[in-house]
Amino acid sequence: MAIQKLYVDRKIADFSQVSAIARRLDLTPEIVSDPGEVYHHVSTAADPVKKGKSVLYLTYNRGAFIKTCPGTRSYTCCGYQILHVGTYCHMDCTYCILQSYFHPPVLQYFVNHSDLFKELETIFADNTIHRLGTGEFTDSLIWEMWTDLSNRLVPAFAVQNSAVLELKTKTTAIDRLEPLSHNRKTIMAWSVNTPRIIAEQERQTAALSARLKAAAKCESWGYPLAFHFDPILIYDGCEADYEDVLKQIFSHVSADNIVWISLGTFRFMPALKPLIEKRFPKSNIVYGEFITGLDGKMRYFKPLRIEIYQKIITCIRAYAPRVLIYFCMEDDEVWQKSLGFTASERGGLSKMLDDQAIKKCNLYIK
């Protein structure tokens, strides 16, 4: 989806990045003193979610760039840290929480990178392992078309020893990553799903085959990889489809170069249901066997989650017996019945992932 309108916060209008992004978009920026002008433009559209995907607002981050991932005490959290470079996404997945998370949804990019790198310097200097990613409130690589962010982030992570950067995407926007010095401190990660789900529920995203070809290219450039099956959606025949996805993954890349694989079934806040029904009337993903989870989100009935997890894990183990598999926001019962252990039995999920980053990404602490 093309960006049709470019707004710029008056406070950062003179930043060199602003003019560079405007040139790449071939748009004349409209300078605004109040973000309310942007929000009004988006929120008064017939479909604000769709409108927000065609409007880019360049501004500055008024808060912290590095945030702790919002977990829930009732479920095992991974201790991931968000590198908050921007918000929203121009792709259009039916299940995306971002379409109800931001009010109104606006594609924002923060240009006060001097503040960002100051925070990173503090992280790099504190002599503890950190796992950071830019893919929580946005897709990590949608900004490649317009900005030089990865050109700065990847080399910055390459020259330190205690932090790893994960760039998670549903795109194939990797070309500018090839010449960068990364020292295996940047993990290239893809959200993956079955071709049926990608075609029906993930508008404007790259096909599975294209994502895996991009992953293979990144591996050839020396990058470590990760894959995230999230959200796993349950439908008739999904087990065979997910097994085929795994077959394709391991025909494209080496199991030894995968840092981790995460699994998470579809879950959603109740407020998202009417939005999905309105925007995607042909989608039936909100009509499964759901219960209310401990975090207030609708989740598949636990035995269904465990069953699909067990089948996917068995398939992964056939190709990659030693790869680290973990769950995004599941409880000890699901861990035990699906993987045969709980994260706490192995020191906690954060430690498991930190140890894997040390092993696969050349990290160490003094």
Query: In terms of domains, do 116 and 227 share one?
Result: yes
Percentage of the chain lying above the pLDDT 70 cut:
98
pLDDT band at 295 (very low <50, low <70, confident <90, very high): confident
In a domain, 5, yes or no: yes
Parent domain of 9:
1-59
252: domain CATH number is 3.80.30.30
Query: In terms of domains, do 36 and 161 share one?
Result: no
49-58, 99-108, 280-289 — which is least confidently predicted? 99-108
What would the pLDDT profile of 58-93 be if each residue is shown by its tens digit?
999 999 999 987 766 667 778 889 999 999 999 999
d(CA 315, CA 54): 40
Single-letter amino acid code for the residue at 155 = P
Specify the pTM: 0.96
Query: In terms of domains, do 288 and 337 share one?
Result: yes
d(CA 234, CA 232): 7
What would the pLDDT profile of 336-346 be if each residue is shown by its tens digit?
999 999 999 99
Query: In terms of domains, do 139 and 276 share one?
Result: yes
According to the model, what pLDDT value does residue 1 have? 61
What would the pLDDT profile of 125-160 be if each residue is shown by its tens digit?
998 999 999 999 999 999 998 999 999 999 999 999
**Res. 2: pLDDT tops 90:** no
| Residues ≥6 apart with Cβ < 8 Å to 253 | 212, 215, 216, 219, 225
In a domain, 180, yes or no: yes
In a domain, 103, yes or no: no
In a domain, 102, yes or no: no
Query: In terms of domains, do 230 and 341 share one?
Result: yes
d(CA 361, CA 169): 19
According to the model, what pLDDT value does residue 76 have? 75
**Res. 116: pLDDT tops 70:** yes
Query: In terms of domains, do 33 and 91 share one?
Result: no
User: What's the total number of domains in the chain?
Assistant: 2
Query: In terms of domains, do 30 and 66 share one?
Result: no
According to the model, what pLDDT value does residue 104 have? 80
Helix axes 208-220, 238-252, angle to 10 degrees: 30
In a domain, 314, yes or no: yes
What's the chain's average pLDDT? Answer: 95
What would the pLDDT profile of 303-324 be if each residue is shown by its tens digit?
999 999 999 999 999 999 999 9
Query: In terms of domains, do 215 and 246 share one?
Result: yes
Q: For residues 78 and 129, is the Cβ–Cβ distance under 8 A?
A: no
Q: Record the tokens describing residue 188, joined without a space.
A: 């290239």
According to the model, what pLDDT value does residue 75 have? 78
d(CA 186, CA 165): 5
d(CA 184, CA 161): 10
